[in-house]
Amino acid sequence: MSTPWPPLRAELQGIEPYGAPQLDLPVQLNVNENPYGPSPEVVADIASAVAAAASTLNRYPDREFTELRAGLAAYLNTDGGNAITPEMVWAANGSNEVMLQLLQAFGGPDRTALSFAPTYSMYPEYARDSNTTWVVGHREDDFSLDLDHARDLIRQHRPHVVLLPSPNNPTGTALSPEVVGVLCEELGEGLLVVDEAYGEFRRSGTPSALELLPTHRNLIVSRTMSKAFALAGARLGYLAAAREICDAIRVVRLPYHLSAVTQATALAALRHAPELLGKVDELRLERDACVVWLREQGLQVAESDANFALFGTFEDRHAVWQGLVERGVLIRETGPDGWLRVSIGTADEMTAFKNALTEVMKEIN
């Protein structure tokens, strides 16, 4: 038998690379970005920080990104963190890279990672790429996590890493700190990664898992500048955890993985945090209004603490997605069968989405 070319690992053959369809449509509500771009002042500050970094690009960047770690720690202490120090922060090119590094360091052959579906579809990919055994439990009909089921799976598989987004993607479901605390206890030496990529969009009264860091040394809270911070293009994700965990990740990171340009951009953005995060309240209101409107159309909508809403169910969700595409609106065909996910955009974009969906629903009924 001839070997396929190129000689890809057997388990990777025939797999499509992960990614949402990139279509050039006027209303982009498919990858949970922040619809608001930076102001001219922020653009100018980022540009001058990058210009300063450019003058030393013959040198490698600060491998330990010391200033950036301090900036991220200070920010986290304003959003649920309690005495987080720079040594308790780690960063990489997007939180996808942060979590891959976590599995490279704490997963691997003869080790197990666990999550609960439906959930973020990159998790099994981190497991596959780090040769970690992947175990997946289920969520309830309302997409919440059943604590007994979670405990049972932990006892059965003794996972080295549990990946739990809060809010969850694609459902928007948040975890309570009580659940996080119980799972940390149950895991013993295993690590619990609470992926708070959408943490800043949580509804008031839903605390961040950051609060539990001082009491659980096996807790890791992952964040990103891609969503609430409106900086998806810069690729900066980070985590907060015990200092020993951050030190251990340094063993698997590639040297100088955060470029001088990335560090300068992220630091400049942090200086403008209040402005960049300024649209979060507006997006939350827009989300809540979108959920109400979708329910008024007779649809089911998952409770959301994020900047998107999962709605359905449709007999032929692809036809609905396609109908929206034909009207210039791009959303995401993801989640359980029959459901669709819409990211929250500007008021005008949401009006365009609602008008298009009304037309499509008339057409299919």
Residue pair 113/126 in contact (Cβ under 8 Å)? The answer is yes
**Residue 167 CB, nearest distance to ligand PMP (Å)?**
8
**Residue 361 CB, nearest distance to ligand PMP (Å)?**
27
**Looking at 86, 94, 124, 312, which residue binds ligand PMP (CB under 6 A)?**
94
Query: In the range 119-138, which residues lie near ligand PMP by CB under 6 A?
Result: 120
Residue nearer to ligand PMP on the CB measure, 120 or 311: 120
The region that residue 268 occupies, defined by phi over 0 for left and psi between -120 and 50 for alpha, beta otherwise, is alpha
Residue nearer to ligand PMP on the CB measure, 120 or 321: 120
- Is position 116 an interface residue for ligand PMP (rule: CB under 6 A)? no
- Give the separation between CA 329 and CA 133, rounded to whole angstroms: 38
Residue nearer to ligand PMP on the CB measure, 96 or 132: 96
- Is position 345 an interface residue for ligand PMP (rule: CB under 6 A)? no
**Looking at 73, 183, 192, 197, which residue binds ligand PMP (CB under 6 A)?**
197
**Residue 310 CB, nearest distance to ligand PMP (Å)?**
12
- Is position 103 an interface residue for ligand PMP (rule: CB under 6 A)? no
- For ligand PMP (CB under 6 A), the number of binding residues is 13
Residue nearer to ligand PMP on the CB measure, 221 or 357: 221
Residue nearer to ligand PMP on the CB measure, 32 or 356: 32
Q: What x-and-dash track marks residues 148-167 binding ligand PMP by CB under 6 A? A: -----------------x--
A 10 A CB-CB count for 61 gives 19
- Is position 304 an interface residue for ligand PMP (rule: CB under 6 A)? no
Residue nearer to ligand PMP on the CB measure, 245 or 360: 245
HEC sequence for the chain: CCCCCCCCCHHHCCCCCCCCCCCCCCEECCCCCCCCCCCHHHHHHHHHHHHHHHCCCCCCCCCCCHHHHHHHHHHHCCCCCCCCCHHHEEEECCHHHHHHHHHHHHCCCCCEEEEEECCCCCHHHHHHHCCCEEEEEECCCCCCCCHHHHHHHHHHHCCCEEEEECCCCCCCCCCCHHHHHHHHHHHCCCEEEEECCCHHHCCCCCCCHHHHHHHCCCEEEEEECCCCCCCHHHCCEEEECCHHHHHHHCCCCCCCCCCHHHHHHHHHHHHCHHHHHHHHHHHHHHHHHHHHHHHHCCCEECCCCCCEEEEECCCCHHHHHHHHHHCCEECECCCCCCCEEEECCCHHHHHHHHHHHHHHHHHHC
- Is position 173 an interface residue for ligand PMP (rule: CB under 6 A)? no
Residue nearer to ligand PMP on the CB measure, 226 or 265: 226
- Is position 169 an interface residue for ligand PMP (rule: CB under 6 A)? yes
- Is position 200 an interface residue for ligand PMP (rule: CB under 6 A)? no
- Is position 229 an interface residue for ligand PMP (rule: CB under 6 A)? no
- Is position 195 an interface residue for ligand PMP (rule: CB under 6 A)? yes
**Residue 15 CB, nearest distance to ligand PMP (Å)?**
19
- Is position 34 an interface residue for ligand PMP (rule: CB under 6 A)? no
- Is position 224 an interface residue for ligand PMP (rule: CB under 6 A)? yes
Residue nearer to ligand PMP on the CB measure, 94 or 118: 94
Residues in touch with ligand PMP (CB under 6 A): 32, 94-96, 120, 165, 169, 195, 197, 224, 226, 232, 237
